[in-house]
Chains A and B, each alone.
Chain A
Amino acid sequence: MTRILGIETSCDETSAAIVDDANGVPTLRSLVILSQDVHRVFGGVVPEIASRAHLTAIVPVVRETVAQAAATLSDLDAVAVTTEPGLVGALMVGLNYAKGLSLALDIPMIAVHHMEGHLFATSLDDATAEPPFTALLVSGGHTLLLDVPAWGSYKLLGSTRDDAAGEAFDKVAKLLGLPYPGGRHVEALARDGDPSRFRFSRPMLHRNTPSDDSSYLDVSFSGLKTAVLNAVRGSTDIERDRADIARGFQDALIETLVEKTARAAAMFHRDRIVLGGGVACNRTLIEAMRARMGVHVEVFAPTPRLATDNAAMIARAGLFRYNHGERASLDHAARATAPLPGQE
């Protein structure tokens, strides 16, 4: 059996988790996520505060994770840590802690790409969420459409030309006077909205785009944000219109994501779709995806705690890399941006 501790500090969650494969199936034994609520005040991540908060939190978070798994540090076979992409100062807190553990316990350290973690997250809820599948990763910083023929082999099909999906939710929330992070507030407000009052155009969703054109699978949300802004500015009674604007925005964004994902799945004849990232918490998105795909395509969405940033997915991806003999050296550096390993 292999037991791996995962560590994630790439943005504003300090998280640790233990995953093992005792029953032959990778299983989550414990997961602790400490969110930095201080950022709600600022409406975003503050790099210096994030680094300092990780520094304060990392030791108690790991201790609690080990205790919840009824284990001790000496039971660990390896430590997996997010090394890219993210805020470098924040990544370095987790990375340096992992290096210290690796040295002190004489166990290998495994470097994990944060977005590869998101691809593995859903498989901890449902072990059948494994390749081949089409993946849609949607978060504050990323919007990626990928084909995954096998773990470790990733074909990037499309991404955002400007704003990420979660960023669009956050900025529209701000325009509508809603709190940060904006996703669930916009979704809740949109539930009461009239879908017919504000119909925003679907960005890059022309019916006759040839499939070899890059706009066939890319997305763009900057223009949608501007359309929302124009609607807000043009409103004579924003209290009356807010829910309807939220509904119009969310419908346009979701239809775009669903249609692009459907195109990608059809292109590679995939009958499984795996969602990941914070926007994958959006029930309306999941339901729209299931409705669009029909009964022959299975749509997997992670539970909310595994959709947003967490260390369980890092431990799970780390287990995969560990089993393939990968080991990171102690001079491994954190990187702000990096393509997925094995990406073509």
Chain B
Amino acid sequence: MPPRATRGHLVMSEQELIAWGERLGADSRPRLVIALTGELGAGKTTLAQAICRGYGVTTPVTSPTYALVHEYAAPHSPVFHIDLYRIERVEDLEQIGWSDIVASNALVIVEWPEHAGDLLPADHLPIALDYDPERADRRLLLAG
């Protein structure tokens, strides 16, 4: 697990979330599976983009919702950005090469990991994003 992943809830603005993600990305080494949970609009794509940037991805990181998997090159290893939003049955995971991807020497960022059920590797780094009920422009982050 990366050294600076903080335990406990962090209350963050969007800029703080981006800075946190970039630092996590910079500290990450393969093989690492990051599981990002949170509702639509909670900030998962924003955080995934920041992690990728910190890890050294220089090409634009866009939503993988329709393509399901996006792959990027980075200095330490490839990055797989996966969105399981539209995957309803774990049997369908193999259609996107799931077991090969999560076993590979890569940084794997999974949105909607709850759709992977038992096939989510046990050693993943969980990160949960939620809304701050007090302020619409803040997010709550729970990592590790």
Instruction: Point out the residues of chain A lying under 8 angstroms from B63, CB to CB.
Output: 160, 162-164, 167, 222
- Least CB distance from A268 to B in Å reads 22
Q: A157-180, CB under 8 A of B: which get 1 and which 0?
A: 001111110010001001100000
Q: Tell which of B41, B60, B95 touches A159, judged by Cβ atoms closer than 8 Å.
A: B60
The A216-272 residues at the B interface (CB cut-off 8 A) are 222, 225-226, 228-230, 233-234
Q: Tell which of A42, A87, A167 touches B68, judged by Cβ atoms closer than 8 Å.
A: A87
Could you tell me the distance between the alpha carbons of A87 and B97 in the complex, rounded to whole angstroms?
A: 12
The B83-110 residues at the A interface (CB cut-off 8 A) are 85-89, 91-92, 94-96
Establish whether residues B86 and A44, one from each chain, have CB atoms under 8 Å apart when the complex forms. yes
Could you tell me the distance between the alpha carbons of A258 and B37 in the complex, rounded to whole angstroms?
A: 34
Could you tell me the distance between the alpha carbons of A229 and B87 in the complex, rounded to whole angstroms?
A: 22
Q: Which residue of chain A is the closest to B133 with respect to CB atoms?
A: A233
Q: A19-50, CB under 8 A of B: which get 1 and which 0?
A: 00000000000000000000000111111110
Instruction: Point out the residues of chain B lying under 8 angstroms from A45, CB to CB.
Output: 66, 86
Establish whether residues A163 and B45, one from each chain, have CB atoms under 8 Å apart when the complex forms. yes
Q: Which residue of chain B is the closest to A45 with respect to CB atoms?
A: B86
Q: Does B6 contact A (CB under 8 A)?
A: no
Q: Does A149 contact B (CB under 8 A)?
A: no
- Least CB distance from A128 to B in Å reads 32
Q: How many residues of B contact A (CB 8 A)?
A: 29
Can you give 10 A-B contacts (C-beta < 8 A)?
A44-B65, A46-B87, A48-B94, A159-B60, A163-B62, A164-B62, A226-B43, A230-B41, A230-B136, A234-B136
Interface residues of A (CB under 8 A from B): 42-49, 51, 85, 87, 89, 140-141, 159-164, 167, 171, 174-175, 222, 225-226, 228-230, 233-234, 336-337
Establish whether residues A48 and B95, one from each chain, have CB atoms under 8 Å apart when the complex forms. yes
Could you tell me the distance between the alpha carbons of A46 and B39 in the complex, rounded to whole angstroms?
A: 20
- Least CB distance from B69 to A in Å reads 7
Q: Contacts A141-B66, A163-B45, A167-B66; is A42 near B86 (CB within 8 Å)?
A: yes
Determine chain B's interface SS by DSSP, over half rule. Answer: loop
Establish whether residues B46 and A222, one from each chain, have CB atoms under 8 Å apart when the complex forms. yes
Instruction: Point out the residues of chain A lying under 8 angstroms from B40, CB to CB.
Output: 171, 174-175, 225, 229
Establish whether residues B131 and A162, one from each chain, have CB atoms under 8 Å apart when the complex forms. no
Could you tell me the distance between the alpha carbons of A204 and B87 in the complex, rounded to whole angstroms?
A: 31
- Least CB distance from B82 to A in Å reads 12
Could you tell me the distance between the alpha carbons of A152 and B22 in the complex, rounded to whole angstroms?
A: 39
Instruction: Point out the residues of chain A lying under 8 angstroms from B65, CB to CB.
Output: 44, 163, 167, 171
Q: Does B67 contact A (CB under 8 A)?
A: yes
Interface centre among B39, B46, B86 (most CB of A within 10 A): B86
Q: Contacts A44-B86, A171-B40; is A233 near B131 (CB within 8 Å)?
A: yes
Could you tell me the distance between the alpha carbons of A31 and B49 in the complex, rounded to whole angstroms?
A: 40
Nearest 7 A/B pairs, CB to CB: A44-B86, A141-B66, A229-B41, A47-B95, A226-B41, A230-B136, A163-B63
Establish whether residues A42 and B88, one from each chain, have CB atoms under 8 Å apart when the complex forms. yes
Could you tell me the distance between the alpha carbons of A51 and B94 in the complex, rounded to whole angstroms?
A: 13
Could you tell me the distance between the alpha carbons of A222 and B14 in the complex, rounded to whole angstroms?
A: 13
Q: Contacts A225-B40, A337-B67; is A46 near B88 (CB within 8 Å)?
A: yes
Instruction: Point out the residues of chain B lying under 8 angstroms from A160, CB to CB.
Output: 62-63
Q: Which residue of chain A is the closest to B86 with respect to CB atoms?
A: A44
